[in-house]
A and B are shown apart, each in its own frame.
Chain A
Amino acid sequence: MTDILLMVFAAIAILGAAATAIQKNPYDKLISLGMLFAGVIPFVVAGGYLDVAISLALIVPITTIILLQAVWRCRL
């Protein structure tokens, strides 16, 4: 992986983390969490852990759906 590409992924991950911490609407927070996940997973792939990447790509959306269930139950 080249150096520029690595910096692009690091920028996406840092921006996603900061946006998740700052936002107030739960749906916006979950969208920014998806952005953080999109920045993190190329590091896992570039490290060569393809089985870890496959299991991460299948388990993280399930976690997001469980959190959406909590957002739906906790609405005012």
Chain B
Amino acid sequence: MTPEFLLGLGILIIGVIAAAFPDPKTYLNRLINLEISGFGLLLVMLSYNETLALLTFIAVTAITTFVLVRVLERRAIN
């Protein structure tokens, strides 16, 4: 039970609740709230000593956000 693990669990729970019930119920708010749980999961993974997993997770989070923003723009124009 390192302090990163507990802090990461707290941020992960806040982010999951905020992404499940966003206050103005738009896609953009959901996407921004998804970033919170990304940071929480990063802190949880930090306590398991796997450098390559951390690097892969950071890169995949960025690529996922890029793809979701593309989809969201296409939806907003229509």
Does chain A bind chain B? yes
A positions within 8 Å CB-CB of B: 6, 10, 13-14, 17-18, 20-22, 24, 26, 29-30, 33, 36-37, 40, 43-44, 47, 49, 51-52, 55-56, 59-60, 62-63, 66-67, 69-71, 73-74
B positions within 8 Å CB-CB of A: 3-4, 7, 10-11, 14-15, 17-18, 23-24, 26-29, 31-33, 35-36, 39-40, 42-43, 46, 51, 54-55, 58-59, 61-62, 65-66, 69, 72-73, 76-77
* Chain B interface SS verdict (over half): helix
What are the nearest 7 A-B pairs in CB distance? A21-B18, A70-B69, A17-B14, A52-B54, A17-B11, A29-B32, A73-B73
